[in-house]
Structure formats: C-alpha cells, structure tokens
Structure 1
Amino acid sequence: MLSNLPNRAEKPRSAGVTMVLDKGYSVRQAEDLCEVAAPYTDVVKLGWGTSLVT
C-alpha cells in the first residue's frame, strides 16, 4: 500500500500513514482541512480515485 511514499517519520506521529477522504467538502473546507491537519495527514483523497500526498 502506498509503496511510493518516502520515509515519513518526522510529523508528530507515533506510527502509520493517515489518509483523509473528502466527502463533498467545498474548496474552502478542503483548504481549511489541509491547513489545520497537515501535521497529522499524509494523503488527502479529493474524490474517488484521486489523491494528494502532503
């Protein structure tokens, strides 16, 4: 799973990779989520079949 990700140990995490799935967010809501949750989030899926690695 997600084998192309680099080593991700620096964020304030104890283990694992965190993915967020958009369930109909507006553009502003998605921007706010990325701004607030960036230290805890590795992948944001903006729709089925798409993703952005932070």
Structure 2
Amino acid sequence: METYVMEPMIQDILGKDPELKKRFDEKMESEEDFAASLDKSTGGFMSKHPILTKTGK
C-alpha cells in the first residue's frame, strides 16, 4: 500500500490506542533503523486496521 494511503490509517490507529502510540513513539526514538525505514515502522499497523481485518476490530 502506498505511503500516502497508509499514513492517515496509521494516525487513526494511533489516535484510538494511546498505549500503542506511546510504544510506537518510544520505538521511533530508540531504534534508528526502525525510524529510518517506513516499511518497518508502518508495516505492522496495516494488520490492525479495520479495512484489512475480517472482524473490523
């Protein structure tokens, strides 16, 4: 999925889950490779977005 499509979805997920946002922010600050790679830093979120899950949860 293209970055411009993923970014609003990721912001939506992070906005609904403060604990996940905190962990994501911490990882972005502490792991240079993670922060530098859009694929690594955003890939896991797509499995959590309702548009890509069967249950929508």
TM-score by length of 1: 0.34
Q: Which has the higher helix share?
A: 2
Q: Which has the higher strand share?
A: 1
TM-score by length of 2: 0.33
